[in-house]
């Protein structure tokens, strides 16, 4: 592997990427550094732009990136294996911690998988509450992104606005579930508790605050010429490439693919009862990813307001045996999580816990794109692209 | 008229003490008013508003104590002497700017007006020594033996050199109009001047040199490495750029240098464009007392503009920054000089 084999930054449009071209690892690069004059910059695992413990081995020619290698696995916790030694109700505690920004949304597909195997359906009120909490966790994740992206591009103020709004939403989630980060609130066959008294009016006022602060982000960040200069046509993901790498969620919608599992996926939760819109943007660059998430935050807030209006009454739990044994079978359930498509492939042998669980999380695909996306950009654009892809390292190193 | 007879030794001691005291003091004032209070208000921060009860007055003292307690770490591979010297050079350049800024008709450390060739060289000197800090920054980045620090230092060098030109060119208009390079002379020009025969508010040069003022503010923002031009310290990409290996007291030096220089540039802008210490109709002894307060008020106003931009805007990329300097600021500054020269001759 010599430098001449590396694709030059000039021929970016070619899409087929040979992964072998990027398989040089850090320890082999000391020698490379000596004989080419390029600088090897080690970004991470402890770096403010890497959202956790991602390590990027970047080769720089001046400020231009020649090649970039993402190195993952610094936070591997073995959750897939651990699920084999837990009962189904215990596993929700684990999967809360996969994508810790939107923990409630993680629980939904797993519980749905177990319910599917057992042939149980949660009552309508429980479905509504699940949807409300999922959308709240989506808002909590996205407002943080809206601020964080500003911070990574250099403006400190939006970050604090993002955290402020996230605080409002986390308080709501805490009031219902008792947990701010890790609610662990889903049960097989329903949901643990009903809403506390006065929560609905509080939630409505918070949603108004979120909508107002989305307008603020629109003015402060999206409308800012410097922000546009920094993000437009930076880190473009072509549709075919995104689909080929398994990129999903807002990142794919920002590339112009009109695909949202809440609408197009298996019928889950109550999204079909609601009047809402899937936002797409044709450009596929960092700016469009920001823009799409901003619109989706608004859309989620409107969905929550709608659901609060048409919330049905009724029981919260279906009839479930005291000791949960899931009958033999296999199922794959995937849902639209804030970061993208999240899926659980559960194989049951009729015991109290799964025989094997395979977790499909969105962030891994986003990070796999990095060697392709980062070629030929400048050092500041690395941070812009990392921030706009919006991955959580816990979601990759499960 | 106050007549105080003091020997040159005493005068020198007083002047040294004032300059030595004024840099940390002004840095603390800006840090307190803008970094802690204004930023907290703008960003809904609760932390800096809490310690000590009233409006978080204790926060700055607490921060200072924290810096003094920190361990002084020097990287193993560092060039020890250069590493230690770099923060001092950054602060030194700030000290040197303060020397020539007049705070009243007779309150100044040195005017440098005795250089007869240009009728004083105050402006020239101030702009020259203010760019000394880039040497300290380069030293810090190189001596840290850290790739992030090196990238930051090289960015800082490229940036400070690029923005030195618009900064100087922006001031040329003022110098042409006032007909002197002495800061004191420029202030006197603004105090005694008149607008179409009306001398009500004197003649603050911002009225004709508003383009120069805008250019000066933009370029000084870049010289101070503040957002939107803070690539050298870019905390989201280069962690802290050239300062990344500095801890405790040495880091505090950079901090004081940063805010002291912000104050110095604000004072320069206030002196050149807003009339400095001058108050119309107030002369001699009264101006000696009123001058510093007036200058301080104007400086705080200019600093407010600087920090407002700092807390609002995202950061440019390095190549965009260079494009702005060379494609926009310098041509505009040259056009401004041309126009000023033509009008000066015409009227």
Q: Cβ of B228 and A154 within 8 Å?
A: yes
- B64, part of any domain: no
Phi, psi angle pair for B239, to nearest 5°:
65, -75
Query: Based on the structure, what is the number of domains in chain B?
Result: 1
How many whole angstroms from its chain centre is CA A336? Answer: 9
Specify whether the CB–CB gap between A154 and B234 falls below 8 A.
yes
| Chain A residues inside the 8 Å CB shell of B236 | 48-49, 151-154, 383
pLDDT at A32 over 80: no
What is d(CA A389, CA B29) in angstroms, rounded to the nearest whole number? 40
pLDDT at A59 over 70: yes
Count CB-CB contacts under 10 A for residue A266: 11
pLDDT at B197 over 70: no
Q: Which pLDDT tens digit goes with each residue over A321-356?
A: 888 888 888 888 888 888 888 888 989 888 888 888
Token code pair at residue B315: 């950061």
Confidence at B108, pLDDT banded by 50, 70, 90 = low
Nearest CA in chain A to B47: A160
Of B239, B311, B317, nearest to A230 by CB-CB distance is B317
- Min CA distance, B317 vs chain A (Å)? 6
Given CB atoms, is A115 within the 8 Å cutoff of chain B?
no
- Min CA distance, B308 vs chain A (Å)? 11
Output the pLDDT for position A256.
85
| Chain A residues inside the 8 Å CB shell of B311 | 156-157
Of B148, B311, B320, nearest to A156 by CB-CB distance is B311
| Chain B residues inside the 8 Å CB shell of A378 | 317-319
Given CB atoms, is A222 within the 8 Å cutoff of chain B?
no
Specify whether the CB–CB gap between B100 and B112 falls below 8 A.
yes
- B26, part of any domain: no
Residues 6+ apart with CB under 8 A from B229: B159, B163, B221, B222, B315, B316, B321
Of A41, A63, A154, nearest to B314 by CB-CB distance is A154
What is d(CA B30, CA A269) in angstroms, rounded to the nearest whole number? 54
pLDDT at A24 over 60: no
What is d(CA B171, CA B269) in angstroms, rounded to the nearest whole number? 9
How many whole angstroms from its chain centre is CA A257? Answer: 17
Percentage of chain B with pLDDT > 70? 89
Given CB atoms, is A244 within the 8 Å cutoff of chain B?
no
Percentage of chain B with pLDDT > 90? 1
Output the pLDDT for position A297.
92
Q: Cβ of B43 and A379 within 8 Å?
A: no
Q: Cβ of B311 and A157 within 8 Å?
A: yes
Q: Which pLDDT tens digit goes with each residue over A240-278?
A: 888 888 888 888 888 888 888 888 877 778 888 888 888
- B219, part of any domain: yes
| DSSP H stretches of helix in chain B | 8-30, 39-42, 59-69, 80-98, 122-130, 133-143, 147-178, 183-192, 210-223, 248-273, 284-312, 318-323, 330-346
Cα distances (Å, whole numbers) of residue A242 to A8, A256, A344, B45: 21, 10, 21, 38
Phi, psi angle pair for B188, to nearest 5°:
-60, -40
- Its domain, for residue B289, covers 75-346
Output the pLDDT for position A231.
87
- B122, part of any domain: yes
Residues 6+ apart with CB under 8 A from B144: B75, B78, B83, B150, B242, B244, B245, B246
Nearest to A195 by CA among A213, A217, A174: A174
pLDDT at B111 over 70: no
Of A161, A221, A229, nearest to B320 by CB-CB distance is A229
Alpha-carbon radius of gyration of chain A:
22
Q: Which pLDDT tens digit goes with each residue over B281-308?
A: 666 676 677 778 888 888 888 988 888 8
Highest mean pLDDT among A41-50, A112-121, B188-197, B226-235: A112-121
- The least confident of A72-86, A191-205, B194-208 is B194-208
Phi, psi angle pair for A332, to nearest 5°:
-120, 120
Q: Cβ of A154 and B239 within 8 Å?
A: no
pLDDT at A16 over 60: no
Q: Is A41 helix (H, G, I), strand (E, B) or coil?
A: strand
* For residues A117-145, average pLDDT: 89
Q: Which pLDDT tens digit goes with each residue over B69-83?
A: 888 888 887 788 888
* For residues A135-139, average pLDDT: 91
Phi, psi angle pair for B202, to nearest 5°:
70, -150
pLDDT at A138 over 80: yes
Q: Cβ of A380 and B44 within 8 Å?
A: no
Residues 6+ apart with CB under 8 A from A41: A57, A58, A59, A60, A379, B147, B148, B151
Q: Cβ of B236 and A151 within 8 Å?
A: yes
Of B43, B228, B317, nearest to A157 by CB-CB distance is B43
Nearest CA in chain B to A158: B43
Q: How many A×B Cβ pairs under 8 Å?
A: 80
Q: Cβ of A230 and B228 within 8 Å?
A: no
- Of A32 and B50, the structure prediction assigns the larger pLDDT to B50
- Of A52 and B178, the structure prediction assigns the larger pLDDT to B178
* For residues A15-34, average pLDDT: 49
Q: Give which of A26, A60, A63, A154 to mutate to test B binding, by max B Cβ within 10 Å.
A: A154
The structure tokens 């794959």 sit at A332
Full-model pTM: 0.81
- The least confident of A219-228, A365-374, B34-43, B334-343 is B34-43
- Of A350 and A28, the structure prediction assigns the larger pLDDT to A350
Q: Is A331 helix (H, G, I), strand (E, B) or coil?
A: strand
Given CB atoms, is A213 within the 8 Å cutoff of chain B?
no
pLDDT at A8 over 70: no
Nearest CA in chain A to B233: A154
Q: Is B195 helix (H, G, I), strand (E, B) or coil?
A: strand
Given CB atoms, is A68 within the 8 Å cutoff of chain B?
no
Torsion B105-B110-B115-B121 (CA) sign: negative
What is d(CA A36, CA B180) in angstroms, rounded to the nearest whole number? 54
What is d(CA B168, CA B181) in angstroms, rounded to the nearest whole number? 12
- The least confident of A363-372, B55-64, B95-104, B107-116 is B107-116
| Chain B residues inside the 8 Å CB shell of A153 | 236, 314-315
Specify whether the CB–CB gap between A314 and A123 falls below 8 A.
yes
Output the pLDDT for position B196.
65
What is d(CA B181, CA B272) in angstroms, rounded to the nearest whole number? 10
Mean pLDDT, all residues of chain B: 80
- The least confident of A65-79, B16-30, B121-135 is B16-30
The full length of chain B comes to 347
- The least confident of A31-45, A194-208, B332-346 is A31-45
* For residues A207-213, average pLDDT: 91
Q: Which pLDDT tens digit goes with each residue over B51-67?
A: 777 777 787 788 878 88
| Chain B residues inside the 8 Å CB shell of A381 | 317
- B33, part of any domain: no
pLDDT at A31 over 50: no
pLDDT at B326 over 70: yes
Percentage of chain A with pLDDT > 90? 9
Output the pLDDT for position A205.
92
Helical (H) or strand (E) element with A56 = strand A55-61
| DSSP H stretches of helix in B99-207 | 122-130, 133-143, 147-178, 183-192
Confidence at A13, pLDDT banded by 50, 70, 90 = very low
The full length of chain A comes to 398
Q: Cβ of B313 and A39 within 8 Å?
A: no
**Pairing label, strands A39-43, A55-61:** antiparallel
* For residues B128-151, average pLDDT: 85
Given CB atoms, is A63 within the 8 Å cutoff of chain B?
yes
- B196, part of any domain: yes
Spell A91-123 as b/e; 16+ CB within 10 A means b: bbebbbbbbbbbbbbbbbbbbbbbbbbbebebb
Percentage of chain A with pLDDT > 70? 90
Q: Helix/strand/coil (H, E, C) string of A249-285?
A: CHHHHCCCCCCCHHHHCCCCCCHHHCCCCCCCCCCCC
How many whole angstroms from its chain centre is CA A164? Answer: 20
Q: Which pLDDT tens digit goes with each residue over B156-166?
A: 888 888 888 88
- Min CA distance, B153 vs chain A (Å)? 13
Output the pLDDT for position B113.
61
- B53, part of any domain: no
pLDDT at A239 over 80: yes
- B277, part of any domain: yes
Given CB atoms, is A49 within the 8 Å cutoff of chain B?
yes
**Pairing label, strands A55-61, A340-348:** unpaired
Output the pLDDT for position A64.
82
Q: Cβ of A155 and B315 within 8 Å?
A: yes
- Of B313 and B12, the structure prediction assigns the larger pLDDT to B313
Q: Cβ of B43 and A161 within 8 Å?
A: yes
Specify whether the CB–CB gap between B280 and B191 falls below 8 A.
yes
- Min CA distance, B212 vs chain A (Å)? 22
| Chain A residues inside the 8 Å CB shell of B319 | 378
Given CB atoms, is A398 within the 8 Å cutoff of chain B?
no
Give A313's DSSP letter. P
pLDDT at A3 over 50: no
pLDDT at A15 over 60: no
Confidence at A9, pLDDT banded by 50, 70, 90 = very low
* For residues B94-99, average pLDDT: 82
Nearest CA in chain A to B41: A157
Residues 6+ apart with CB under 8 A from A11: none
């Amino acid at each position: 592997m010599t430098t001449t084999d590396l694709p030059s930054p000039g021929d970016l449009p070619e899409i087929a990427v040979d992964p072998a071209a990027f398989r040089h690892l850090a320890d082999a690069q000391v020698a490379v550094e000596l004989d080419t004059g390029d600088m090897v910059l080690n970004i991470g695992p402890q770096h403010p732009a890497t959202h956790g413990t991602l390590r990027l081995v970047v080769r720089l020619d001046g400020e231009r990136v020649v090649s970039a290698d993402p190195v993952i696995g610094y936070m591997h916790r073995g959750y897939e294996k651990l699920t084999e030694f837990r009962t189904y109700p215990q596993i929700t505690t684990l999967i809360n911690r996969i994508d810790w920004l939107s923990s409630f949304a993680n629980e939904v597909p797993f519980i749905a998988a177990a319910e599917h195997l057992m042939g149980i359906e949660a009552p309508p009120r429980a479905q509504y509450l699940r949807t409300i909490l999922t959308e709240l966790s989506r808002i909590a994740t996205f407002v943080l992104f809206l601020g964080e992206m500003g911070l990574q591009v250099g403006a400190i103020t939006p970050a604090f606005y993002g955290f402020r709004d996230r605080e409002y939403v986390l308080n709501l989630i805490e009031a219902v579930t008792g947990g701010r980060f890790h609610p662990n609130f889903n049960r097989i066959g329903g949901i643990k508790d009903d809403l506390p008294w006065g929560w609905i009016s509080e939630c409505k006022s918070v949603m108004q605050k979120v909508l107002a602060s989305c307008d603020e982000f629109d003015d402060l960040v999206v409308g800012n010429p410097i922000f546009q200069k920094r993000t437009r046509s930076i880190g473009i993901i072509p549709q075919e490439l995104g689909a080929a790498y398994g990129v999903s969620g807002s990142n794919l919608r920002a590339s112009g693919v009109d695909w949202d599992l809440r609408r197009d996926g298996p019928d889950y939760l109550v999204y079909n009862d609601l009047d809402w819109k899937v936002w797409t943007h044709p450009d596929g660059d960092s700016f469009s990813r920001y823009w799409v998430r901003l619109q989706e935050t608004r859309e989620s807030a409107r969905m929550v307001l709608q659901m609060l209006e048409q919330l049905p009454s009724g029981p919260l739990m279906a009839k479930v045996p005291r000791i949960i044994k899931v009958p033999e079978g296999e199922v794959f359930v995937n849902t639209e999580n804030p970061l993208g498509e999240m899926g659980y492939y559960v194989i049951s042998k009729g015991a109290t816990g799964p025989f094997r669980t395979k977790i499909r999380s969105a962030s891994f695909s986003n990070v796999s794109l990095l060697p392709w996306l980062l070629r030929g950009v400048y050092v500041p654009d690395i941070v812009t692209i990392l921030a706009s892809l919006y991955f959580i390292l816990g979601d990759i190193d499960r | 008229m106050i007549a105080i007879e003091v020997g040159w030794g005493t005068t020198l001691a007083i002047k040294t003490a004032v300059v030595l005291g004024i840099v940390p003091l002004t840095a603390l004032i800006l840090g307190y008013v803008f970094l802690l209070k204004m930023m907290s208000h703008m960003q809904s921060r609760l932390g800096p508003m809490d310690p000590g009860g009233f409006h978080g007055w204790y926060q700055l003292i607490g921060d200072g104590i924290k810096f003094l307690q920190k361990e002084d770490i020097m990287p193993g591979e560092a060039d020890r002497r250069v590493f230690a010297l770099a923060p001092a050079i950054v602060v030194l350049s700030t000290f040197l700017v303060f020397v020539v800024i007049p705070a009243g008709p007779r309150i100044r450390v040195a005017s440098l007006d005795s250089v007869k060739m240009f009728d004083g060289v105050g402006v020239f000197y101030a702009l020259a020594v203010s760019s000394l800090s880039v040497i300290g920054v380069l030293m810090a980045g190189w001596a840290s033996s850290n790739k992030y620090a090196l990238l930051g230092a090289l960015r800082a060098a490229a940036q400070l050199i690029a923005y030195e030109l618009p900064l100087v060119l922006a001031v040329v208009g003022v110098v042409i109009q006032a007909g002197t390079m002495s800061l004191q002379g420029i202030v006197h020009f603004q105090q005694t001047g008149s607008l179409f025969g009306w001398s009500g508010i004197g003649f603050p040069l911002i009225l004709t040199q508003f383009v120069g003022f805008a250019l000066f503010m933009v370029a000084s923002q870049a010289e101070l490495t503040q957002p939107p031009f803070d690539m050298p310290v870019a905390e989201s990409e280069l962690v802290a750029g050239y300062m990344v290996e500095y801890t405790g007291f040495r880091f505090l030096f950079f901090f004081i240098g940063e805010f002291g220089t912000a104050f110095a540039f604000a004072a320069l802008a206030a002196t050149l464009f807003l009339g400095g210490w001058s108050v119309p109709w107030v002369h001699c002894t009264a101006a000696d007392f009123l001058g510093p307060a007036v200058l301080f008020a104007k400086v705080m106003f200019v600093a407010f503009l600087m920090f407002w931009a700092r807390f609002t805007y995202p950061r440019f990329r390095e190549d965009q920054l260079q494009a702005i300097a060379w494609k926009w600021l310098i041509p505009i500054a040259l056009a401004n000089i041309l126009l000023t020269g033509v009008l000066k001759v015409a009227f």
